Amino acid sequence: MVRELTQNDWPDVKEIYLAGLATGNASFETSAPEWETWDNSHLKHSRLVAEVNAEIAGWAALSPVSGRCVYGGVAEVSVYVSGAARGKGIGATLLNALIANSELNGIWSLQSGILQENEASIRLHEKCGFRTIGYREKPGQLNGVWRNVILMERRSKLI
């Protein structure tokens, strides 16, 4: 079941986020923020969790790419699945639901920056209609190692 993410979900969402960060391939981030910081950095709509047997198995949300009004319909995707739930289609379910929800809220372009080694995330995004538009060569370091980022985008066919 996919439903709206609420503040009450934050402990479980944060745990899944931290587990993703621990893989070393999910993000340049190394720690999770407090709820208020996370809440303020994400759009108020298109925040979803997937539940399996009444437990949160993954989450997805959108962040604005810019404060400029011309980019108001462009958002960056975050999607994380718990270790126990990976490989069961939950990521695709969440990402497809996020796409549909984003379009209902006027988002015409979704983008994602994925660490090059995160092949599972790249395949997930491709499966859900994203295309590779380029890469950023070594834009940052994670644990002292320069990493490349694959840039992916999905343009709405409805908006």
* Segment 71-127, tens digit of pLDDT: 999 999 999 999 999 999 999 999 999 999 999 999 999 999 999 999 999 999 999
Domain annotation covers residue 93: yes
Confidence of residue 49 (pLDDT cuts 50, 70, 90): very high
Domain annotation covers residue 74: yes
Q: What is the pLDDT of residue 108?
A: 97
Q: What is the pLDDT of residue 57?
A: 98
Integer Cα distance of 59 and 50 in angstroms = 6
Domain annotation covers residue 107: yes
Integer Cα distance of 59 and 2 in angstroms = 9
Query: Is there a contact between 147 and 138 (Cβ–Cβ < 8 Å)?
Result: yes
Mean pLDDT is lowest, of 42-51, 66-75, 91-100, for: 66-75
Domain annotation covers residue 128: no
Domain annotation covers residue 97: yes
Q: Residues, the chain, total?
A: 159
Please give the share of the chain, as a percent, with pLDDT higher than 90: 99
User: Which residues on adjacent β-strands are paired with residue 114?
Assistant: 150
Helix (H, G, I), strand (E, B) or coil at 114: strand
Q: What is the pLDDT of residue 53?
A: 94
Q: What is the mean pLDDT of the chain?
A: 97
* Domain housing 101: 2-112
Domain annotation covers residue 135: no
Domain annotation covers residue 87: yes
pTM, rounded to two decimals: 0.95
Number of structural domains found in the chain: 1
Provide the CATH number for the domain around residue 37: 3.40.630.30
Domain annotation covers residue 156: no
